[in-house]
Amino acid sequence: MLDDLTNEPAHRLASERPEYRGYEIQLRHEWSNWCAAVHPTRADLPILAQSPLLTLSLNRDEALAAAKRNIDEALGHLTKNVA
C-alpha cells in the first residue's frame, strides 16, 4: 500500500533507523520531504554535529544516500587528521 502524499510504501513512513559504518541513521518524513539524523552506535565514534535538515530530500533513498555521504566525509576527514 502506497501513501497518497509521498508515493512511498506505507511501512516505510514510520521512523526508520538503518545503520552505516557504525552510525544509526534516523529517517523521518517532514514537511513533504525526508530528512536524516545520524547518531554513533559505539563510544569510539565521533558525534557528528549536523542538522537533520541538511539531508532534506524529496525521497527516502536520497536522504539515506546523503546521510551516508556525510558519514563518509566526516570519517574521511578524521583519518586524514590522524595520519
What is the number of structural domains in the chain?
A: 1
The average pLDDT across 19-36 equals: 91
**Burial of residue 37, with CB atoms counted within 10 A of its CB: 0-12 exposed, 13-18 middle, 19 or more buried:** buried
Specify the 3-state DSSP secondary structure of 46: coil
Within a domain: 61:
yes
Within a domain: 2:
no
Within a domain: 62:
yes
Task: Print the domain residue range for 20.
Answer: 10-82
Determine the pLDDT at residue 15.
57
Whether pTM exceeds 0.85: no
Within a domain: 3:
no
Task: Give the least confident one: 10-14, 23-27, 53-57, 69-73.
Answer: 10-14
Specify the 3-state DSSP secondary structure of 54: helix
Retrieve residue 55's grid coordinates: 539531508
Within a domain: 63:
yes
